[in-house]
Amino acid sequence: MANGENVPGPILAADGRPLRQSLARALRLQKLRALMLIAPLLIFILVTFAAPIADMLFRSVENAIVPDTLPLTVAALEDWDDASGQPPGEKVFAALRRDLLAAVAAKAHTKLGSRLNYEQTGVASLLRKTGRRVKRMEEDGDLAAQFAEVHKSWADPETWATIKRFSSAYTSGYFLNAVDAKLGATGIEARPENERIYIFLFERTLLLSVVITVACLLIGYPVAFLLATLPMRTSNMLMILVLLPFWTSLLVRTSAWKVLLQQQGVINDTLVFIGLVADDGRLAMINNQTGTIIAMTHILLPFMILPLYSVMRTIPPSYMRAAKSLGATDWTAFWRVYFPQSVPGIGAGAILVFILSIGYYITPELVGGTSGTFISNRIAYHISSSLNWGLAAALGVILLVVVLVLYWLYDRIIGIDNVKLG
Amino acid sequence: MRLRTFLAAGAVASMAMAGAAQAEDMTIVSWGGAYSASQMNAYHKPYMEMNPGVNIINDESAAEAVAKLRAMAEAGNTTWDVVDVVASDAIRLCDEGLAMEVDVDSVLAAAPDGTPASKDFGDFLVTPCFIPQIVYSTTFGYRTDMVGDTPPKDVCAVFDLENYPGKRSLEKRPINNMEWALMCDGVAMEDIYDQLATEEGQARAFAKLDTIKDQVVWWSAGADTPQLLADGEVVIGSTYNGRLFKLIEEDKQPVAMLWDGQVFDLDGWIVPANLSDERKKRALHYLNFATDTQRLADQAKYISYGPARASSAPLVGKHATLGIDMAPHMPNEPKNMSNTLLYNYEFWADYRDDIDAKFQTWLAK
């Protein structure tokens, strides 16, 4: 640098090139080499993790099946006014007949029926039935009447309005359904009271997750404190007690809670035996929210204790001693000196537990009954049972966005730098 | 150099082994537990003895079969050859184009008296993709020691909290529960589905279920109710009749069967769509054997589900280990059939999503 002050112009390296350029080149090579080293992992993550998630999320708006299966009908319906209260004209029925003939040959009509049945009950059997009969229809005859004869729904303008509303290649239908709304005749409208469930479940999931996180913190903090302050030999022994359940199968632990908590279970039997509870007044501690909270707190507890422990180990015990020697009581020394230093561990543990519990589904399914199930249970239902993957994807996107927003809020309020795993 | 030769030889050998194994393995998906065991004894073992070239692998993921088949089809790699599913799932797989349509009479064996398979199975052929295997029913079992001197005689005991107090277990889905609710609210058997298709009918069923809502334990796995009954957690609960048979006859629990109001359902085979010709041929060859009259009757030796062929019923014998007559424990035994319902596939295919949304909302509130 001292040289640079005297000589104007760029500094040259040994090979005569400008130093800046040569340095950049060396750095670039280094970066490239580093990138190549992590390339296997990067590609692995992109192919097996990022791409499938992106593909799944894309399903929440994808609706190509309608325009692909009924291309002529969709085009013909453009001229039809769905507010007219009349079924469309003969031209549309002729297009529908041709579309359905092709769809039946490709066996796509029943698939379309499953898709539209999510929006209007009854379309599944309507298309299955029509698919069986469409070959026998006469092209020149009154097609509207022939279709109406197969099923009266073809004369109902509501059926046509549904097809028209969901005729584009992308749809907001799944997302609307996921927030208890639907695309009605006059635009977006709320679902009837007796079908509103998802927002309620999102709220419950968040609320129960907060409760579980707080419970984990209240139980985990003293345990971690004890582990961090005891001599190494003893604390290692006790650590095994924390880790042992961690290594036990999730299902085993959940089932164990069933045995303990049920009405004819160990805890209730004991309470009845010592006379705290009457035999006909046994406590309901499982198949409800209590069951979910207890079992999940137990299962997620190590995720709180471990980061807390590793942060607490780094707090020098001399600080507490110094505070006390300066006249602080035990509580003041803990609260003013020790606790602030353990906050990064609390942050890490709380984020871990909260995010894990928000997406949990096995435990709530097994011990949650009806009042302790989470939104993830509905997502699992739509993936594996109802096959409404679009709705499952929409619910998943919302859950993901909620978590990201909470994470962002956390960063704004507490600061993500203030989180330590050890 | 030697290491490379060794590795190459190893790779070739393992590929050869994998190739040989693939040529013989046939993956059959079923429900696991006693049910898979009964299929193993009645179908798989004799078939493998007759066809030593085929090795049957039993996969137990039938509960997720629909979703997994869809995922496999999208990935373009279907690894299953024959799948055991309930009829409603078979209908959905057929609708989605994930199951192959089977021409029953050309693929399956005729009855011993020459009746073609399509006649022998009759109405049980609910979709062109489905080959019925058994008739099972969802029905109630109750604790004999918890009902006093007046054991329940009909299904409405479930809604009778006065005479049969205590918890009851019902499946966590609208199907069957809505029907029972209407049945016990005085709706005639033949009007149930007309009622359920209307908002008022649905509200009526929910209102009836409301009367017992806080006394219900909702189950989602077939093993739940037997366990709840064995623990004395519930007085009465619905489950599959085969599970109750095991609980009563094999485990000797103080539980009795309530056949009244049982809902019939079918379970059977589908072949995934888009299998290679060779695998398809093998799968159909297996099905021809596994669904003939004698084989279906044989399965009833191991589990109390009724054979789906009319011609199998007279051949049903005694239980393989307990030695008791199986016929009285079959859901389709005439004396058990005084008041029954057949799962309405068409109705539920249409209304499943709609009523399920309402049911879940009702449950959560």
Q: Could you give the angle at the alpha carbon of A316 between the alpha carbons of A311 and A317, nearest 5°? A: 115
Whether the complex's predicted ipTM is more than 0.90 is answered with no
Burial string for A109-135 (b: 16+ CB within 10 Å, else e) reads bbbbbbbbbbbbbbbbbbbbebbeebe
SS3 of B363, please? helix
Of B233, B353, B362, the CB nearest to A388: B353
Mean pLDDT of chain B: 89
User: Where residue B1 falls among pLDDT bands split at 50, 70, 90?
Assistant: very low
Verify that B246 and B106 share a domain, yes or no: no
**B218/chain A closest Cα distance in angstroms:** 6
**Residue A119 DSSP class:** T
Asked if the Cβ–Cβ distance from B67 to A194 is below 8 Å, we say no
Give pLDDT, residue B19.
Answer: 45
Q: Which helix (H) or strand (E) holds B306?
A: strand B306-307
Arithmetic mean of pLDDT, B7-15 = 51
DSSP three-state, residue A125: helix
- In order, the DSSP letters of A338-363 are IHHHHHHHHHHHHHHHHHHHHT--HH
State the pLDDT at residue A422.
61
**Among candidate residues B210, B244, B264, the one where a domain is terminated:** B264
Q: Say if residue B2's pLDDT is above 60.
A: no
**Statement to judge: residues B128 and B163 lie in one domain:** no
Q: Which residues contact A321 (CB under 8 A, 6 or more apart)?
A: none
CB pairs under 8 A between A and B: 83
Tell me how far apart the alpha carbons of residues B45 and B30 are, in angstroms, rounded to a whole number: 15
Q: Tell me, yes or no, whether B6 lies in a domain.
A: no
B224: domain range?
151-264
> 3-class DSSP state for residue B238?
strand
A384 vs B66: CB contact, 8 Å cut-off? yes
Weakly modelled stretches of chain A, pLDDT under 50: 1-2, 4
Amino acid A2: pLDDT: 47
In Å, the largest CA–CA distance within chain B is 85
Record: contact B352-A263, CB cut-off 8 A: no
Chain B hits for A111, CB-CB cut-off 8 Å, are 95-97
CB B335 within 8 A of CB B325: no
The verdict on a CB contact (< 8 Å) between B218 and A287 is yes
> Do A112 and A121 touch, CB atoms closer than 8 A?
no
Cα separation of B351 and B342, whole Å? 16
- The predicted model gives B21-32 an average pLDDT of 80
Does any domain span residue B140?
no
Q: State the total domains in chain B.
A: 2
pLDDT value of position A282:
86
Question: If pLDDT is split at 50, 70 and 90, which confidence band does B338 have?
Answer: confident
Task: Give the H or E element holding residue B297.
Answer: helix B293-299
**Whole-number Å distance between alpha carbons of B301 and B326:** 7
CATH code at position B244: 3.40.190.10
Q: Which amino acid is it at A155?
A: A
Segments making up each domain of chain A, as ranges: 12-58, 65-171, 198-418
Last residue of a domain, one of B264, B292, B321: B264
Across A267-422, the runs of DSSP E, i.e. the strands, are none
How far is it, in rounded angstroms, from Cα A92 to Cα B87? Answer: 35
CA–CA separation, B81 and B203 (whole Å) = 43
pLDDT, one tens digit per residue, over B104-155 is: 999 999 999 999 999 999 989 999 999 999 999 999 999 999 888 889 999 9
Instruction: Tell me the average pLDDT across B150-163.
Output: 93
Predicted confidence at residue A4, as pLDDT, reads 46
Report how far residue B242's alpha carbon sits from residue B305's, in angstroms, rounded to the nearest whole number. 6
Q: Are B46 and B107 in the same domain? A: yes
CB–CB of A386 and B356 under 8 A?
yes
- The string of pLDDT tens digits covering residues A137-192 is 888 878 899 999 999 999 999 999 999 999 999 999 999 999 999 988 788 899 98
Residues of chain A contacting B360 with CB distance shorter than 8 Å:
197, 378
Which residue's entry shows tokens 């799932």? Answer: B89
Model pLDDT, residue B22 = 47
- Domain membership of residue B203 (yes or no) is yes
Question: Does residue B2 sit within a domain?
Answer: no
Is residue A198 within 8 Å of A178, Cβ to Cβ?
yes
CATH, domain A198-418, list 1.10.1040.10, 1.10.3720.10, 1.10.760.10, 3.40.605.10:
1.10.3720.10
Cα–Cα distance, B22 to B53 (Å, whole number): 11
Sign of CA dihedral A196, A197, A198, A203: positive
pLDDT digits (tens, 9 = 90+) for B86-97: 999 999 899 888
User: B124 and B97 share a domain?
Assistant: yes
In a domain, B243, yes or no: yes
Q: What is the pLDDT of residues B195-227, one digit of tens each?
A: 999 999 999 999 999 999 989 999 988 888 999
**Where is the domain boundary, B264, B281, B303?**
B264
Same domain for B121 and B223, yes or no, is no
B174: DSSP letter: S
Residues of B in contact with A385 (CB under 8 A): 66-67
pTM of the shown model: 0.85
